[in-house]
Amino acid sequence: MTPRELLDGLRDGNFHVGGIRCLRLMRLHDQYFAALQGEVANLSERERPSDIQKDDHITNWTRPRGEVLQFSLLNLSGRTSDFSGDHDLSSFGKRFHLGADYPMLARFISTFPDITNFRLNTIGPTARLAPHEENSIIRTKTGSIGACVRYHLPILTNPGAELTLDGQVFHMEAGIVYLVNHGCVHAVQNGGSERRLHLVWDQLLTCPAYEAVFGDKPDPFWGTRIREEEQIPSVLRVVRMGAHVRLPSCVDQVAAEQVDLCDPQ
């Protein structure tokens, strides 16, 4: 996929005129994924999360129900409960402070340039996030129009864990890195009896970020790229999403025609 195809697909999805909703991008090697699963499960038990149910949480506007916890793994402070910089669209100065305790996770994070956050999201049985809409097309600090892409890597999941994007319902398979267009109206529900654990991170779509994920570079040490003809996941069903909450946008649909790869922020 060329940069132009990717940017246009993100833009169209962001404005609900088709485009990209969800893509399967990379499959982790079984041995590496098993080790990563173990580290992430340990992290979820040992470290301190933030509670999205709390009124002062930056993600509380998504109207969570049930157990919805977040571990912020890329920040200035090193506290996994510190979500203060998760959505400031800056990649400068942030790092994963727990690499000595979780080396597999640290190596994985290091392969993604220009990420602005990296989180472990835990959604308990019967918990959910209500329909909401963010922005994958952004205005950068220099005034240009660029894109911020979101990735999910399911670590622990079950068949009842579902993601809905503009009415299309998906189940994300463990061990696969997905691009999820958070400019679509989206909702999450865990209809199973087990926790859903996803690693979730946002990345400014710079030239290095594009090359690392979509370019012609060799596959990363931890997995293999999925062929383009196999990237679109199966839609389980189509539903009506109804009313939803949304974040305001600094870019209208006309201005978004100028979207391009952005500089690091």
**Residue 87: CA atoms inside 13 Å, Cβ hemisphere, count?**
11
Does residue 152 sit within a domain? Answer: yes
Whether this model's pTM surpasses 0.75: yes
Kindly report, residue by residue over 215-240, the tens digit of the pLDDT: 988 999 999 999 999 999 999 999 99
Q: How far apart are CA 15 and CA 168, in angstroms?
A: 15
User: Does a structural domain hold residue 173?
Assistant: yes
- Decide if 177 is inside a domain: yes
Q: Residue 132 falls within a domain, yes or no? A: yes
Measured in whole angstroms, how far is the alpha carbon of residue 180 from the centre of its chain? 6
Task: Pick the closest to residue 153 from 43, 28, 44, 64 (CA basis).
Answer: 28
Rounded distance between C-alpha atoms, residue 78 and residue 81, angstroms: 9
Any domain includes 81: no
CATH number at residue 13: 2.60.120.330
Encode pLDDT of 244-259 as tens digits: 999 999 999 999 999 9
pLDDT, mean over the chain: 96
Domain limits at 218?
Answer: 3-74+91-258
Q: CB of 190 within 8 A of CB of 160?
A: yes
Q: Determine phi and psi for 104, rounding to 5 degrees.
A: -65, -45
pLDDT at 265 over 70: no
Angle (CA) 131 265 48, round 5°: 55
Q: Is 79 within the bounds of a domain?
A: no
The residues near 46 (Cβ < 8 Å, ≥ 6 apart) are none
Dist CA 220 CA 12 (whole Å): 29
In this prediction, residue 94 carries a pLDDT of: 95
DSSP 141: T
Whether 265 is covered by a domain: the verdict is no
Nearest to 122 by CA among 64, 167, 78, 173: 64
Domains of the chain: total? 1
- Residue 86 in any domain: the answer is no
Q: Looking at the DSSP assignment, which residues form a beta bridge with residue 202?
A: 117, 150
Segment 2-61, tens digit of pLDDT: 999 999 999 999 999 999 999 999 999 999 999 999 999 999 999 999 999 999 999 999
- State the pLDDT confidence band at 84, using cuts at 50, 70 and 90: very high
Sign, CA torsion 37/40/44/45: positive
